[in-house]
Chains A and B, each alone.
Chain A
Amino acid sequence: MSSTRRTSRHRTSSLWLLWSWRDLRRQWVTVTALALVIAIGTGASAALSSMSAWRRLSNDASYARFALHDLLLTFEESRPEAVDVLAAVRSVPHATAVDRMEVGLDLPAQIEVPTTAGTGQDTLPGLVVGVPLDGGGPLIDRLLVTSGRGLRADDAAGTVAVLDATSAESAGLPGTGTVRIAGGTRLPYVGSVRSAEHLMSDASGWFGQVERTVLYAPLPLVQRLAGAPGRIDRVALRLAPGTDADLLRTELETTLATRLPGSPVAIARGDEDPAFRMLYDDIDTDQRLWNVLSLMILLGAALATFSLTTRVVTAQRREMGIGLALGLRAPALAIRPTLFALQIALMGALAGVGVGILLGRIITGILADMIPLPVWLSPFQPGDYVRAALLGIAVPLVGVVHPVLRAMRLSPMDAIATSRATGGTTVSRGGRFAGWLRAVPLPGSSIARLPVRHVLRAPGRTLITSAGIGAAIAVLVVTSGLMDSFAAAADRGIAETDRGPATTTVALDSVHPVTAGEVRSIAGLPQVTAVQPTLLVGAVARPGSGAGADAGAEPLDLAVEVLDLDTALWAPTIEDAVAPGPPRGIVLARKAATDLGVGPGDEIRLEHPSWRGDGAVTTVTTAFTVAAVHPHPVRSLAFLDTSAASALGVAGLTNQLRVSPAPGVDEDELRRALLATPAVASVRSASEAADALRDAVREFVRMLTVVGVLVLLLALLIAVNAARISADERTREHATMFAFGLRTGTVTAMAMVESLLVGLLGTGLGVGLGAIGTHWAVVNLVTGTMPELDVRPTVAAATLLVALALGVLAVATAPLLTVRRLHRMDIPAALRVIE
């Protein structure tokens, strides 16, 4: 190739590039808005898709900092001598695989803490955890300091503790202070720490949870307080890399059973830790929901980008015609619009990195509020980003193809004359369908008809603009619909819990006879007017008959509350009862019945604990008839009348009381009185139960709110951009109207009516798709993400109003943003646009 030809090609390339830059500069507002649409689409999509990676990385980093045990030996019924346990561990065949052993002792105790107001003392159920300090603090299952200081080697012989940060936050305790534990020992705590074991609140269910205030203290101190010097109930093991933990576990079980027969031990791997499992198991099920939302946002942005790019490039058709007339080959015609779209796409994709990083920080901030991991990471995920960015870049380029191909199909003169034939606008005449729509007779003056005619004249363009708006509205409806569905589930639960007189639920520290002194002392409190003993039993339910038995439905964990359904202070709403009157079989949550594939009249088999006369507990399976269902959204809640308690082997026992306050006694006063009573493990008022339900969906609601705000922004950008592009397309028509003396207000009103029609169409599409999407997401995703909760597809009136306000009002009023341009229009210049 000669240097002259190379130079010529170089100059041509520079010209195209320069021309496209001028296009970008001339339409910088439209270009910026388009780039932002792409940025939001790619950034939000990448961020939402990255959540599982972020959570996994954060979990890994956090547990690495905790130095989570490889094996944990727990003696639940005894406190053997530490030396015996350690000797037993050292005697297993693969003892050399154990790199480190650390012992500990838990001391459950009532703990007096200053009241939040600082005016007195609250007595809370608590746990003092004895930890070894010889290595400067535990080196397995480390305590990570969040405020104040941690325990040091020189604290080993002292009377000092640190407070568990999760407990401190839950009880509203200061970072440092002094507590008093049973027996009157004053225990100063010098800081607060986060531990792997108590990372999540002890509250793991919906009702009857035990909320304990956890303190960590030197092991010798705890042994002294427990009256068990030299004894332990826990050993954490760190194994050499590559060790088969299960093999070692088997060896330990065998050895300990032989050497310490009176001390049954439970041995668990680190990855079997409940908090660990919860944190990792949730990731993939949650991610499915975010992936769908991510895809919807990306699709919404893609549709909008396609529509807007197509319209911007269509405006260049006349210049393409000139190019054809000057002998340019067809591919060369595509260079300028392609460069234009590519640069917008690249700008948008680059800005998407920023949106993604920002959103990542917001998301991990929300997650950090919910899950107090010591490390939260949201590193940029190139894979997720590139996938989204590729679509973000490809869509505008695809948007270029259609108008370029259309221009190339025309003869040069037709392409040039397009503007004249269409009265100076750049919209095609449309096909046969458009012809039919154009001919639709309309009432009113020509000024009233014009906006409708504009909408009907180019149905393809109208539809694609509406689809962009509709996609954004659909995502908004889905995100809001999911929030509505969660809120409706919580409201159903709260409404069910709030039935009848206000009661407070008291969890006892263990199972007691209903006639026990502990129960009587609570009933005798002056702050209490009535007490209803119940028994909360954990059970596993399997279908015994019905469709579920045939289909082999999965067993469900249930929390069966045994209570007198005739006289209870609170009883569930009974629905679909087999027989009138109080149900004489088990009452399941409607969702539990559905998931088990049973209905009223069917039988389920319940695997549950049974208390023998000597106090020992065995696990037995009993068949119960499903007597009715109740509407509480928590699937695990089941109720059984006391008349069936003997079948369960729990007659006359209680571990939970429903308490009615005396007149004039407020929640706090009742709570303080109850917590100060022996055997009370936790107290939960009706309002706290409601809060627990709301908390259960709070993480999703906050995340969805972030997504909703982004989608709102996306929809507004689409509306504004569509209005600007319409104004550009109509410049000559507007100038003609002004030449005839129409006022700016009239011209703006016409544009608003046109936008209103597009907005109505888009909103109709969006609301319809959103409602379908909400139904689909709730049925197919939420049931997997939150199987414990009966979430039903709900789209609240407020969501519809917001969608209407956004899709109709915002889109319809978007042309107001062009009033200034209209007002300042150089009419003669606009009339000469193509002359």
Chain B
Amino acid sequence: MIARTAPAVTDQAADGTVPRSVPRVDLDGVGRRYRTAGNEVVALDSVDLHLDEGEFVVVLGPSGSGKTTLLNLVGALDTPTEGRVRLGGVDLTTASRAQRARARRELTSFVFQSFNLFPALTALENVRFGADVARRSGDGTRTAPDPGDVLDRVGLGDRLHHFPHQLSGGEQQRVAIARALATGNPILLADEPTGELDFTTGVQILGLLQQQAEAGRTVVVVTHNREISRIADRVVELSSGRIVRDGPPRGGRAAVTDLHW
């Protein structure tokens, strides 16, 4: 069992779900190097980052700046070559594969740029997948939100039995968000969630993500779109694998309705 040291957040989320205790995320002196064809690529270099519960953090940077690598490390999909990554006090750097899988199962949820829905499952079944994974955790007594309710709350109550190819891009991304929320996990990680969406749909999605942070989840959104960073509590800018800025949005925090690109 992964020990948690972070305090619990018990506010009710906008989607009606109650996130469990939200752990801290600590990255200390983290580096990630890749070796390809004899060359060494430094994706992240000496990154120190600490995320508190309920923060809506946007990680900003151009392509190749290391933002997806950072997200993968936070999400226990990858391990650093230097430094330490701790999630809820658990050191993921030295954790086994099984422990990292457990961290993903119990603490984090992903929203991908290209949705990664299961094409053989309906919208409802895709969301149920998130809930089913949650139920397989721990001693089996863990409860997860009702998938139908979650889909309803992301505005897809009338699309429950549609398959992914029968949905628009925005609808697919909302299903992906619903699937992540259905896990009930306290940390939501989104990699370019609006990258394949039009402006209107993108704004709707961002609004949904912002609601999750307001409900107490830690939300980390990776993007190269500077405009999106305007709605964040905190903006972490990366360049060539290093954090070049960490703080509130320049010019203050904006509302989702103020965004334009």
Residues of A within 8 A of B (CB): 420-425, 427, 429, 438-439, 445-447, 449-450, 453-454, 456-457, 732-733, 735-736, 738-743, 746, 823, 827-828, 831-832, 834-835
Contact = CB atoms under 8 A, between A and B. Distances in A.
B259 interface: no
B77 A739 contact: yes
B165 A422 contact: yes
Of A427, A446, A741, most B-chain CB atoms within 10 Å: A741
Nearest to A421: B165
B56 interface: no
30 contacts: A421-B119, A422-B165, A423-B118, A423-B164, A424-B116, A429-B165, A438-B163, A439-B161, A445-B128, A445-B132, A445-B135, A446-B121, A446-B126, A447-B133, A450-B129, A453-B125, A456-B120, A739-B77, A739-B110, A740-B104, A740-B109, A741-B101, A741-B102, A741-B103, A742-B136, A823-B97, A827-B78, A828-B69, A831-B77, A834-B114
Contact of B101 (A733, A743, A828): A743
Nearest to A457: B120
B196 interface: yes
B201 to A, nearest CB: 15
B121 A740 contact: no
Interface residues of B, number: 42
Contacts of B120: 438, 450, 453-454, 456-457
A739 B104 contact: yes
A734 to B, nearest CB: 11
Contacts of B72: 827-828
B22 interface: no
Interface in B203-223: none
B114 A835 contact: yes
Interface in B99-146: 101-106, 109-110, 112-121, 125-126, 128-130, 132-133, 135-137
Given A423-B117, A446-B125, A741 B104 contact: yes
Contacts of B117: 423
Majority DSSP secondary structure for residues of A touching B: helix
A424 B126 CA distance: 15
Nearest to A458: B120
Nearest to B132: A445
Which are the 8 A-B pairs with shortest beta-carbon distances?
A741-B105, A741-B104, A453-B120, A423-B119, A446-B129, A446-B128, A445-B132, A422-B119
Given A422-B165, A445-B128, A827-B77, A740 B114 contact: no
Contact of A831 (B112, B118, B161): B112
Contacts of B126: 446
A740 B129 contact: yes
A685 to B, nearest CB: 65
A740 B111 CA distance: 10
A681 to B, nearest CB: 75
Contacts of B3: none
A423 B116 contact: yes
B132 A828 contact: no
B68 interface: yes
A280 B114 CA distance: 69
Contacts of A457: 119-120
B78 A828 contact: yes
Contact of A447 (B106, B129, B196): B129
Contacts of B112: 736, 831
A258 B28 CA distance: 121
Contact of B121 (A450, A735, A738, A832): A450
A741 B106 contact: yes
Nearest to A448: B132
Contacts of A832: 68
Given A736-B112, A828-B72, 10 more contacts: A423-B115, A423-B119, A429-B119, A438-B163, A446-B128, A449-B121, A735-B116, A739-B104, A741-B103, A741-B133
A450 B118 contact: yes
Contacts of B114: 420, 424, 834-835
A461 to B, nearest CB: 12
A60 to B, nearest CB: 61
Interface string B47-82: 000000000000000000000110010010110000
Interface of B: 68-69, 72, 75, 77-78, 97-98, 101-106, 109-110, 112-121, 125-126, 128-130, 132-133, 135-137, 161, 163-165, 183, 196
Contacts of A446: 118, 121, 125-126, 128-129, 132
Contacts of B130: 740
Contacts of A429: 119, 163, 165
A743 B116 contact: no
A742 B114 CA distance: 20
A420 B77 contact: no
B165 A453 contact: no
Nearest to A736: B116
Contacts of B128: 445-446
B2 to A, nearest CB: 11
A408 to B, nearest CB: 20
B77 to A, nearest CB: 5
Contacts of A449: 121, 125
Contacts of A740: 104-105, 109-110, 129-130, 133, 183
A834 B115 CA distance: 12
Of B68, B132, B161, most A-chain CB atoms within 10 Å: B132
Nearest to B165: A421
B101 A425 contact: no
A827 to B, nearest CB: 5
A682 B120 CA distance: 73
Contacts of B69: 828
B81 to A, nearest CB: 14
Contacts of A424: 114, 116
Contacts of A739: 75, 77, 104, 110, 116
B98 to A, nearest CB: 7
A743 B118 CA distance: 17
Of B72, B121, B130, most A-chain CB atoms within 10 Å: B121
A733 B114 CA distance: 12
Contacts of A456: 120
A455 B214 CA distance: 41
A424 B172 CA distance: 13
B121 A742 contact: no
Contacts of A439: 161
Of B75, B112, B128, B137, most A-chain CB atoms within 10 Å: B112
A740 B113 CA distance: 15
B102 A420 contact: no
A453 B133 contact: no
Nearest to A823: B97
B132 A447 contact: yes
B77 A732 contact: no
Contacts of A823: 97
A736 B133 contact: no
A761 to B, nearest CB: 17
Contacts of A741: 101-106, 133, 137
Contacts of B103: 741
B113 to A, nearest CB: 6
A42 B115 CA distance: 45
A453 B126 CA distance: 12
